[in-house]
Structure 1
Amino acid sequence: MDVRLVLCFLWALLATANGVNFWARPSSCYSRFPGQSNHEERRCGVWHDSCIAVQEVNTVGGVVQRGIFQSCTSSLHSLEGDLDFEFAEGVYVRVHSKICRETNCNTEEIKERSRLSVMPNGRQCPSCYVLGSHHCLQNNILHCQGAANQCVDVVGTVLENDVHLPFAGRGCATKDVAKIKAGMGLMSGLYIYQIKSIQLSPAPKAENVNNF
């Protein structure tokens, strides 16, 4: 199967038809895949009812990396929101996903979203991140910031240029991360993430962090 067809089911939102005209659908959307610097206009298939734009900023490779994914998509199989992971001080994955229903509405002129507030929110979570293994051996503590008031434990595989790398992470996350389910193949602005397992729970206050 063409990997690009698989990617179109990424970051998908559980459909909410309230106030939405089902028959209003884009004839085309901007299209750009990880590693591409330019977009192109692409006609949408009959199974597509929306355009999607996904921005990612991460530091898991030790440097700041940015990327954008754009495509036609189905709103029945798409995720939307701020899906942010903070795995350690300076180690994060921040994804902003948005869908829309007008032709070419996932414009190339995408403004980078503001980062999470750096103000501590009084919550803490176990913290670790490893690329190349499905096991986090460290058990550090991370002070959560801003809207990242959930504790997350995620295991999966990162796909880049046909290379599969296992990863595991623990840390603080935003509530939108709860939309991600085990077994999902998610394409962001930089990679394809295959999620093996994910757990999310409200982050406890500092004195209870060891009970997570």
Structure 2
Amino acid sequence: MVSFILCLLPALLATSAQAQTVTCHQCSGSAESCLPADGTCSVGTAKGGCFTMAEENTLHGTKTTLFSKGCLSDYNSGIKVPITFTGGNGKYLKINTTRCNDADNCNSALLEVPKENTTTNGRQCPTCLSLNANTCDSQITPCTGNEIYCIDFVGEIQKGTPAVKSPFAAKGCATESVQGIKTGDTLVSAGYTFTFTKVTASPAEKTPTSTKPPTTTKPTQATTSGASPALGKFSFALGLTGLLLVKLLS
């Protein structure tokens, strides 16, 4: 009996170890490179899991759509929900992300980027973006969709292999999910790695509404001719009566 248990123990340990890891699809780049994915990776489910990300941005002036899939060593780190940011002058960043660790290759599906919403929401923020400096000159811009927070971010942006790093400064309208970004955090998107040295996020102010002054009614002015027509007729009758009396008395 003891020998049987000793023989069974390695198999149980192997099964337990296998149950504590998950295999994830791994890829980065265009939709073609991520469907199907280029490769796979494995990670322990105690803290890690799989992720899928879709990104659309116009940070460099033209619209770029990127995708990535892979393993997360810390399942609870970083942004776990969709996030969008608008920096004015047509510059924006949209990131959609999901996480899972309940089954192998649970990140096989390809995500869509967050839908664009151009309907103004009655709020406004200072907006600007610089990818080569740690300051930028802002202007007030109406916010749209569910971007109801104002952000002021400064840090370093990294792109490509080998990595090219440069400072960045951004102000603009963003979704409430930006509250999850703190000073010192690193956000890895499908195309960039952002390291934040300054983070400010606060509810956007309401857009001031213009009010028209009340309409005033000018008082009716009297005619320059003096009395009304009725009074004129009355005066004429008195004059005629006086003339008749003079003739009778003479």
- TM-score, shorter chain, exceeding 0.5: yes
Provide TM-score, normalisation by structure 2. 0.68
Higher helix share: 2
Task: Report the CA distance between 1:79 and its aligned residue.
Answer: 2.3
Contact between 2:129 and 2:168, CA under 8 Å: does it hold in 1?
yes
1:112 partner SS: coil
Structure 2 unaligned residues grouped into runs of 5+: 1-18, 210-250
Between 71-80 and 92-101, report the one with greater CA deviation.
Answer: 71-80
The answer to whether structure 1 residue 53 and structure 2 residue 52 are counterparts is yes
Task: Report the CA distance between 1:49 and its aligned residue.
Answer: 3.1
Whole-Å separation in 1 of the counterparts to 2:165 and 2:117? 32
1:99 partner SS: strand
Contact between 2:127 and 2:139, CA under 8 Å: does it hold in 1?
yes
Task: Report the CA distance between 1:33 and its aligned residue.
Answer: 3.7
The answer to whether structure 1 residue 128 and structure 2 residue 128 are counterparts is yes
Higher strand share: 1
Identify which of structures 1 and 2 has the higher relative contact order when contacts are C-alpha pairs closer than 8 Å and 6+ apart: 1
Amino acid at match of 1:125: C
- Note the 1:42-81 alignment, pairs <5 A: 42-45=41-44, 48-73=47-72, 74-81=74-81
Measured at CA, do residues 113 and 56 of structure 1 come closer, stay the same or move farther in structure 2, by a change above 3 Å?
Answer: closer
Task: Report the CA distance between 1:142 and its aligned residue.
Answer: 1.1
Contact between 1:26 and 1:104, CA under 8 Å: does it hold in 2?
no
Measured at CA, do residues 145 and 26 of structure 1 come closer, stay the same or move farther in structure 2, by a change above 3 Å?
Answer: farther
Contact between 1:25 and 1:48, CA under 8 Å: does it hold in 2?
no
Measured at CA, do residues 159 and 113 of structure 1 come closer, stay the same or move farther in structure 2, by a change above 3 Å?
Answer: closer
Larger Rg: 2
1:177 partner SS: helix
Amino acid at match of 2:150: C
Q: Residue 37 of structure 1: which of 12, 33, 38 is its match? A: 33
2:227 corresponds in structure 1 to none
Amino acid at match of 2:148: N
Contact between 2:97 and 2:111, CA under 8 Å: does it hold in 1?
no
- Note the 1:80-95 alignment, pairs <5 A: 80-95=80-95
Whole-Å separation in 2 of the counterparts to 1:181 and 1:124? 22
Task: Report the CA distance between 1:37 and its aligned residue.
Answer: 2.9
Contact between 1:150 and 1:175, CA under 8 Å: does it hold in 2?
yes
Structure 1 unaligned residues grouped into runs of 5+: 1-23
Task: Report the CA distance between 1:70 and its aligned residue.
Answer: 1.3
Whole-Å separation in 1 of the counterparts to 2:83 and 2:21? 25
- The structure 1 segments of at least 4 consecutive aligned residues displaced by more than 6 Å after TM superposition are none
List per-residue Cα deviations over 1:123-159 (Å, max 9, x = no partner): 01011111100011x2211110010010111111111
Contact between 1:126 and 1:139, CA under 8 Å: does it hold in 2?
yes
Amino acid at match of 1:50: G
1:157 corresponds in structure 2 to 156
Whole-Å separation in 2 of the counterparts to 1:68 and 1:184? 21
2:177 partner SS: helix
Amino acid at match of 2:23: S
1:68 partner SS: strand
Provide TM-score, normalisation by structure 1. 0.79
Whole-Å separation in 1 of the counterparts to 2:122 and 2:140? 13
Contact between 1:89 and 1:142, CA under 8 Å: does it hold in 2?
no
